[in-house]
Structures are given as structure tokens and as C-alpha cells.
Chains A and B, each alone.
Chain A
């Protein structure tokens, strides 16, 4: 079955760029929306944004100015870059697959990112 695996540095310094990769295995990224969600410790889930396999994106307006997403269909990978990070960006970051507007049906295990000097 389709599985998602997030990867990236666990520690990022303030003002630097957070870069994460989501690798999709057991299926193709084609014809799906791929969504990043984050969860600060003890807080609710936050929708970061999504990207269609074609590359079109929709972002959370609160993050839009700092956020880029991209896909590499040949590698079955999805990428997230968040610039100028602060402690408020410390969270568990999940890569997910969206069933259109019908929920997020597949989730990676998540990768913890801490912003600290």
C-alpha cells in the first residue's frame, strides 16, 4: 500500500530555512493532492498547504510569504521549504495525501523539527 516518509533536519536555527522531503512509496504521486500538516506539542493540527502532482499549490495565508512547495514526479517526492523560521515553527510535520476535499487519507509518521540556536 501507499506509504509516506518525511525526512529532514531535526534542528534548524532561527532565521534559517526549514527544508523537508516526503517520499511516496507503493504508489504514484500522480493525480493526487499532497498536503503538509504540522502539530506543535500539545496543540491542534495546522494545515500548512497542498500541492497537486502537476505543481499547482495552495498555501495557508499565515505562512504564504515564507512557504514554497514542489514535486518531483520522477522521484515520487514532495518538498516543503519554509524560510525565516522562528520558535513558533517548532512542530511535528506530517506529509499527507488528500482525497480531494474528502479528508487526508494517508499520513506519514511525521518528523519533528525544532527551531533553536
Chain B
């Protein structure tokens, strides 16, 4: 299985901060990388697919980048609604796998 490793595992930030989360794949996954966030007791929500494509309705303060094995999710000007756990997912091969999550907390 392809291992997905996120860093950091958690971070504290303030409203208005710029936040970057990194996701590393154990092998090349091309552009088959997606990002979600999840709030407690809720289902994950797709934010970005295919590395850089913003899902419909997702604010433009979210952006993705990278290729191959290293990918990033950046949130510009963090908003109160953004405090959640973020997951990356590779959809390159079966089984599709997720990162362990990055918890974004309020400082």
C-alpha cells in the first residue's frame, strides 16, 4: 500500500494566519492527490482534488500544490470555520489511502 504521511500532525494558528500542511506519499502518485477537512462528529468534506482543483463551493483561500510525492495544502487567511482536521488521500492506486490527519486548532 502507498503510505501517506502528513506534517505537522497538529498546529495552532490564529484567525487570519496563513497555514501550510504537507503530505508525502511513499511512491510517485502523479496528480492523484485530494484534500479533505473534517469537523468533529461530521463527515469529511472534499476541498481540493487532483492536487490543485478547487471543489465547487470551496473558498478560494484554499489552494493545493505539489507533484509526484510531495504535496501541500495552503489556507490563506484562516477563518473560524477552518478549524478542523485535514486529510490527504491518494487515488492513484488500490487501495486508496489517507494521511493520518493534521489537526488545526485555535491559538
Check B43 against A107 for contact (C-beta < 8 Å). Answer: yes
Contact at B95–A103, with CB atoms within 8 Å?
no
Q: Chain A interface (Cβ within 8 Å of chain B)?
A: 44-47, 58-62, 94, 99, 101-105, 107-110
The answer to whether A101 and B91 have CB atoms under 8 Å apart is yes
Tell whether, in the assembled complex, residue B89 and residue A45 are in contact, meaning their CB atoms are under 8 Å apart: yes
Contacts of B96 in A (CB 8 A): 47
Q: How many Å from the CB of B54 to the closest CB on chain A? A: 11
B32 and A101: CB pair below 8 A? Answer: yes
* Cβ-defined contact, B98 with A46, below 8 A: yes
The minimal Cβ–Cβ distance linking B97 to chain A, given in whole angstroms, is 7
Interface of A is mostly: loop
- Say whether B46 contacts A44, CB under 8 Å: no
Note all chain A residues with C-beta closer than 8 A to B98: 44-47
8 more A-B residue pairs beyond the given contacts A44-B100, A102-B49, A104-B34, with a C-beta to C-beta distance below 8 A: A45-B89, A47-B95, A47-B96, A101-B92, A102-B91, A103-B46, A104-B46, A105-B46
Residue among A58, A94, A99 making CB contact with B43, cutoff 8 Å: A94
Q: Which residue of A lies closest to B34 (CB)?
A: A103
Complex interface: chain A residues within 8 A of B43 (CB): 94, 107-110
Inter-subunit contact A99/B49 (CB<8 Å): yes
Asked whether, in the complex, the Cβ of B50 is within 8 Å of the Cβ of A44, the reply is no
